[in-house]
Amino acid sequence: MIRSSKRSSKLWSVIAVSCLVAVAPGCSSDSDDGAKSSGNKSENSSGEFELDKPVNIALLWEIEGESTYGTNAYNQGAELAIEELNAKGGVGGHDIESFRIAASPVDPQDSVAALVEAQGKNPTAMIGMASPTQIAAAGGNLERSPIPLIATSVSSPDYVFGSDGGHDNLWTSGVYDPRLASEAVKFLVEDLDAEKIGLMATNEPYGKGGVESAKEELEKLDLEPFASVESAPDATDLTKQVLEMKGADAAFHWGYPGPLSVQLNQFVDNAIDIPTIASTSGLTAIKTGTVKAGAAKKFHLSLACSPGDPSYSSNLEDFVERYEEKWGESVDLVGAWAYDAVLTVAAAVEIAESADPADVNEAISKVNVEDGSGCGGPVKPDGGHVFTHELVITKVEADGAAEVLKTVDTEPVPEGG
Amino acid sequence: MTAEAAAADPTEMYGCAASPPSFRKHQYLTLAVFTLAIGILVPLIVSGVATQHRINLWLCYSVSAVGFYWVFGLAGRFAFCQTFMMVLGGFASAAVTRALGPEWFLLGLLASMLAPALLAFLVGLALARSKEFAFAVGTLAIAQIGVVVLQQTTSFSGPNGTVVGVSIPRIGSLEILSERHTFYMFLALLFTILLVAVLIERSPMARDATATRLNLVVSSTAGVPTTRVPLVLFSLGSAAGGLAGAMIAHWTGSVSVESFGIPLAIGIFTMLILGGIGSPWGPVAGAAIYVGVPLVLRSFERWQLVIYGILLLSAIIAMPEGIVGTLRAWIVPTRERAGPTLRGRVSSLFERRTEA
Amino acid sequence: MDKFMALLVSGLAFGAIVALVAVGFLVVQKASGVINFAHGDLVTLGTFVSIWMIGDLGMPILLAYLLAMVVMFGVGVAVERVAYAPLSTREPLTVVIATLAASIAIQGGLAVWQGADAKPLPSPVSGRYVNIFGAQVTEQRILVIVVSAVVIGALMLVFQRTSFGRQLRALASDAETARLFGLRTRRLTMIAFGLSAVLACLAGVLAAPMSNANLTFGFKLMISGFAATVIGGFGSFGGVIVGALAIGIVQQLVGGYFLINYSEALPFIVMFMVIVLKPEGLFGTTAERL
């Protein structure tokens, strides 16, 4: 008798919990859905608008040591921008404020948690997230709040505005990656007279996306890829991939810095003497000193801008000087993107005359920073939510010396890429 | 029951005596109290959306870690593919909702459990004869091969091994969008998984698994199904992993091969060890620590990783039975603690030397 | 033919490195019964110590290599003292997790000390090539194969012919009995950890000049080392060496000719097949011998 009542009490507790859990969603309040910032303006005596609270920017990236992938470049670029803007009196009568939350590029769940935490603090805008995986993972949560996120990375078809992964409040401060890739291929074919072009990539979204764009461009030029090979992002031996490039006129390599420098070194090791073109990773590969002296004799990069040879742009020249004075080290391109992202937020707040995230998000599309940008070119967001459209083809040496060979003004990216 | 008596009565060792030790009593009640407490207290205490998000992440990881507990804690099989099962579950569910529409979310969840369970069944069958380290490395191999295959196929796992725009969870006409709604759904799912865990703990299967783990040869001669039991637990555990992957996929709107890498694989392992390997509550506690510790360590900035390593090391030295195991040692008198402990449970896992 | 030779030498060199890593962590496993998950990070650490000595202290390359190995012997002993000795009476699993924790701490410390970027390690034969059947091959690869063969050969001699080797084998086959017979097992275990760290360092300084060193480079080699050990049967040196060479050659030759975009998965496919078809490994024996 006692036994059966015991059992039934257990049963009841199970049923009770099931009911609670089943009905709970229906009866909970919606109080946690991103409180609205007031950020109202009021005109001051001089006619300039005044915000009732400062612009606050969330910075979402790691610094050195927080994980094995941390780098200080993003933070230094953003801090420089904030410092300079505040020296000029800030925005809306207040100094710009910022806070940083570490978002691991290799742990998307952690990144999303960082993003949500930032959203919870209700900043004016968020800047950060460098890897495509992070941006993809962040997507769902951008829907839940109007706060804009400016990704400090190149834009990709995976999350350009209008694509499946795109969002109303997701922007990218870099160039549209397919443009970088297709201009890279054009350069090899038109300027270096290459016909047999071997494609190399790391087998992750960035590398594979670049190769897709390169293949499309080759098709437009009526050419077939000479070979197309992939490697792991942490590959340390590319002998087999490199040997596939024997007989090609030029190599196109889209991927992580590690395999890129291994490829360049192993071209020399295997007596392959052809030009290579890569993108932003090439700068990192060179900066780390992992490319041997003789291995970068024919190394080209297709970039959003070239801090290594800023002579083509007075804006960039200025920025490089200020950055080096402040931090005592050379500019990393991603630092310039972080800088531009901060400038854009400030400009958008001025246009909106409000620090309300939704207003700022709307105003970002009207921003047009002609002068003083970090990456040199004008910052003018387009239909695909991409900020910059100027790109450069440079030639770099193993010691970091760069020479800009040509600059290309690409078309704005339409909605949907 | 004294230690001598326990030794004299081998059935007690396997936990199948007439009266279970006290920590095994009231399991349904404990589960009910836990779920009610979390379900009521969290909405009362937590107001920030960020904290709510971390709690939801804790629930997801708990589901996967409880699954891993079945594989590793109960069956004593050191599988290195739990995070791959999560990826697979995420892709499977995303594929179902993409093909049939977001209203088929629940079917997606079912698929997210079936696909990993099937794979685990086949892998477990193939590796049935392999022991200890070989099983660990064999499952690691499956995870590595699987990742490469997913990266190369686009129809199932999206271009470049990433699927974005995964539909928001939907049950009937109810879209589960906010973090708070997500919390209730995840709690319900964790409750279900823990209910299964309790059922398993009380079933003959748990006894068979313990027997198989402790002494394979004796168990098989005694008629214990020594192949079937670990196989079933491996499949069930992988199904839970797949479910957790699908939860994360629909919640964050995307799933990528890269989302569940080696750091998380080590993480799930750490959850089990920190929380305690002796009961399904261990991984739930461990997952809470795994999600919470980075917040505490944040002020250490670049020293985080070093301090995390040192803390982990200290915790292992100070609490070899994990948090739940240590708490239990305080609460439950020693003589009643005849249940599973880390000692003996896996002692032969890495040590072949003693077998010779 | 030149492509074949280039791939073959590359596969052999990679296999040789994997063999060194596998033998290194097998020494600890035999002496203590523990799988040291920090072994890969010891490879990385040894490499970065060498890079630091050459780059920042300006030491000659070979001297830096040697000193780094001396330092790593100390580090190995320290790992034994910190992560193994306090736990030696506990279950092996606890110690395994402790080594995992040590691995996380080492990686974190390295990131603070050396930063996250990949770094190059100079070699005495940098930029020198030989021609083998029409294939240009770096001397580094030849050096890797020769040094690994000599070192592993010497180790086998030490384990078979010297008193130290016999003691270690006794410890490996039955620790309790070894202790009863008066072996100083504590000292032996410390030496085994130290020796293992030296081998890790050697593998690192040999491998890094062929590519570059980053913070996860050792971990990846360790995973391949695990595979080699399992293929070889977790027992004899010979089995491990065959396993390691099989991994290198399959990855390079099969990967180079047929399934280039799947080549990362190839060693794992081989390993899985071996585990399924012959769970005790290709050369698995019941006798526990080094």
Query: How does pLDDT run across B115-174, given as a tens digit for each residue?
Result: 999 999 999 999 988 877 788 888 989 998 998 888 888 788 877 778 888 888 988 888
Give me Rg for the CA atoms of chain C.
Answer: 19
How far is Cα A155 from Cα C237, in angstroms, rounded to an integer?
51
Amino acid at B314: S
Q: Is the pLDDT of residue B340 over 70?
A: no
Q: Is the pLDDT of residue A112 over 80?
A: yes
A227-244 mean pLDDT: 89
The pLDDT value given to residue C58:
93
Q: Is the pLDDT of residue B259 over 50?
A: yes
Q: Contact at 8 Å (CB) between C36 and C196?
A: yes
Determine whether the interchain pair A113/B57 forms a contact, defined as Cβ–Cβ distance below 8 Å.
yes
Report which of residues B238 and B25 the model is more confident about: B238
The candidate with the shortest Cα–Cα distance to A92, out of A37, A162, A143, is: A37
Determine whether the interchain pair C93/B342 forms a contact, defined as Cβ–Cβ distance below 8 Å.
yes
C141-152 mean pLDDT: 95
Give me Rg for the CA atoms of chain A.
Answer: 24
How far is Cα A303 from Cα A153, in angstroms, rounded to an integer?
12
Q: Contact at 8 Å (CB) between B240 and A100?
A: no
The pLDDT value given to residue B183:
95
Q: Beta strands A149-151 and A170-172: pairing type? A: parallel
- For residue B272 the two structure tokens come to 């089990």
How far is Cα A350 from Cα A50, in angstroms, rounded to an integer?
10
Contact of A75 with chain C, judged by CB distance below 8 Å, is answered with: no
The pLDDT value given to residue A30:
36
How far is Cα B206 from Cα B229, in angstroms, rounded to an integer?
9
What residue in B sits closest to C111 (Cα-Cα)? B302
Instruction: Return the H-helix or E-strand segment holding B265.
Output: helix B262-275
Determine whether the interchain pair B28/A13 forms a contact, defined as Cβ–Cβ distance below 8 Å.
yes
The pLDDT value given to residue C60:
95
The candidate with the shortest Cα–Cα distance to C275, out of B78, B132, B127, is: B127
Please report all neighbours of B, defined by 3+ CB atom pairs within 8 A: A, C
Q: Contact at 8 Å (CB) between C171 and C31?
A: yes
Query: Which residues 6+ apart lie within 8 Å of B244 measured at CB?
Result: B60, B61, B63, B64, B67, B86, B89
B276-295 mean pLDDT: 90
Give the bridge partners for A155, in sequence order.
A176
Determine whether the interchain pair A158/B162 forms a contact, defined as Cβ–Cβ distance below 8 Å.
yes
A172-180 mean pLDDT: 91
The pLDDT value given to residue B24:
61
Q: How confident is the model at residue B112 (pLDDT cuts 50, 70, 90)?
A: very high
How far is Cα A40 from Cα A60, in angstroms, rounded to an integer?
25
Q: What is the pLDDT of residues A293-329, one digit of tens each?
A: 889 999 999 999 998 899 999 999 999 999 999 999 8
Which three-class secondary structure state does DSSP give residue A392?
A: strand
Q: What is the pLDDT of residues A200-224, one digit of tens each?
A: 999 888 898 899 999 999 999 999 9
Which three-class secondary structure state does DSSP give residue A200?
A: strand
Q: Is the pLDDT of residue B59 over 80?
A: yes
Give the bridge partners for B315, in sequence order.
none
Which residues of chain A does B298 touch, with a Cβ-Cβ cutoff of 8 Å? 102
Which residues of chain C does B302 touch, with a Cβ-Cβ cutoff of 8 Å? 111-112
CB count within 10 Å of CB B247 equals: 29
Q: Nearest CA of chain B to the CA of C241: how many Å?
A: 17
What does DSSP assign to residue A330? P
Q: How confident is the model at residue C285 (pLDDT cuts 50, 70, 90)?
A: low
How far is Cα B312 from Cα C216, in angstroms, rounded to an integer?
20
The pLDDT value given to residue A211:
94
Of B151, B188, B303, the CB nearest to A21: B188
Which residues of chain C does A294 touch, with a Cβ-Cβ cutoff of 8 Å? 127
How far is Cα A295 from Cα B207, in angstroms, rounded to an integer?
63
Of C107, C136, C263, the CB nearest to A270: C136
How far is Cα A363 from Cα A118, in angstroms, rounded to an integer?
21
Determine whether the interchain pair A70/C210 forms a contact, defined as Cβ–Cβ distance below 8 Å.
no
Query: Which residues 6+ apart lie within 8 Å of B219 measured at CB?
Result: B208, B211, B212, B226
User: B262-275 and B304-318 helices cross at what angle (nearest 10)?
Assistant: 30
Distances (CA, A) of C237 to B144, C99, C230: 26, 23, 12
Query: Which residues 6+ apart lie within 8 Å of A330 measured at CB?
Result: A287, A307, A308, A320, A324, A400
- Please report the residues numbered 246 through 265 in chain C whose beta carbons come closer than 8 angstroms to any beta carbon of chain B: 261-262, 264-265
When the pLDDT of each residue in chain A is averaged and rounded to a whole number, the result is 85
Give the bridge partners for A32, in sequence order.
none
The pLDDT value given to residue C235:
67
How far is Cα B159 from Cα A339, in angstroms, rounded to an integer?
31
Contact of B8 with chain A, judged by CB distance below 8 Å, is answered with: no
Amino acid at C143: L
Contact of B162 with chain A, judged by CB distance below 8 Å, is answered with: yes
How far is Cα C206 from Cα C142, in angstroms, rounded to an integer?
10
Q: Nearest CA of chain B to the CA of C87: how many Å?
A: 7
C10-18 mean pLDDT: 94
When the pLDDT of each residue in chain C is averaged and rounded to a whole number, the result is 87
Determine whether the interchain pair A203/C261 forms a contact, defined as Cβ–Cβ distance below 8 Å.
yes
- For residue C94 the two structure tokens come to 């606890």
How far is Cα C215 from Cα C104, in angstroms, rounded to an integer?
11
Which three-class secondary structure state does DSSP give residue C68?
A: helix
Determine whether the interchain pair C216/A71 forms a contact, defined as Cβ–Cβ distance below 8 Å.
no
- For residue C192 the two structure tokens come to 């085994």
Distances (CA, A) of B203 to B190, B200, B210, B218: 20, 5, 12, 20
Of A14, A24, A65, the CB nearest to B39: A24
Q: Is the pLDDT of residue A48 over 80?
A: no
Q: Is the pLDDT of residue B6 over 80?
A: no
Most confident of B132-136, B350-354, C253-257: C253-257
Q: Is the pLDDT of residue B62 over 90?
A: yes
B34-44 mean pLDDT: 94
How far is Cα B243 from Cα C61, in angstroms, rounded to an integer?
53
Report which of residues B337 and B326 the model is more confident about: B326
Contact of C5 with chain B, judged by CB distance below 8 Å, is answered with: no
Contact of C30 with chain B, judged by CB distance below 8 Å, is answered with: yes
Residue A154: how many CA atoms within 13 Å on its side-chain side? 27
Amino acid at A15: I
What residue in A sits closest to B160 (Cα-Cα)? A205
Q: Contact at 8 Å (CB) between B183 and B55?
A: yes
Of A32, A70, A205, the CB nearest to B178: A32
Q: Beta strands A97-101 and A56-60: pairing type? A: parallel
Q: Is the pLDDT of residue A333 over 50?
A: yes
- For residue A221 the two structure tokens come to 């030029």
Report which of residues B308 and A318 the model is more confident about: A318
The candidate with the shortest Cα–Cα distance to A380, out of A416, A417, A409, is: A409
- Please report the residues numbered 4 through 63 in chain A whose beta carbons come closer than 8 angstroms to any beta carbon of chain C: none
Q: What is the pLDDT of residues B195-218, one digit of tens each?
A: 999 999 988 888 888 888 888 888
What residue in A sits closest to C141 (Cα-Cα)? A269
B256-271 mean pLDDT: 83
Report which of residues B340 and C52 the model is more confident about: C52
How far is Cα B72 from Cα A164, in angstroms, rounded to an integer?
38
Q: Is the pLDDT of residue A2 over 60?
A: no
The pLDDT value given to residue B8:
42
Of B28, B35, B248, the CB nearest to A109: B248
The pLDDT value given to residue B333:
60
Q: How confident is the model at residue A6 (pLDDT cuts 50, 70, 90)?
A: very low
B244-260 mean pLDDT: 89
Phi, psi of A50, deg, nearest 5: -130, 130
- Please report the residues numbered 136 through 165 in chain C whose beta carbons come closer than 8 angstroms to any beta carbon of chain B: none
Give A117-171 as a 3 state SS string. Answer: HHHHCCCCEEEECCCHHHHHHHHHHHCCCCCCEEECCCECCCCCCCCCCCCCCEE
How far is Cα A9 from Cα B29, in angstroms, rounded to an integer?
9
C35-47 mean pLDDT: 93
**Hey, which bits of B173-259 come out as E strands?**
174-175, 254-256
Q: Is the pTM of this model over 0.80?
A: yes
Q: What is the pLDDT of residues C76-135, one digit of tens each?
A: 999 888 878 887 777 777 777 788 888 888 888 888 888 777 888 999 988 888 888 888
Where does residue B331 rank: exposed (0-12), middle (13-18), buried (19+ CB within 10 A)?
exposed
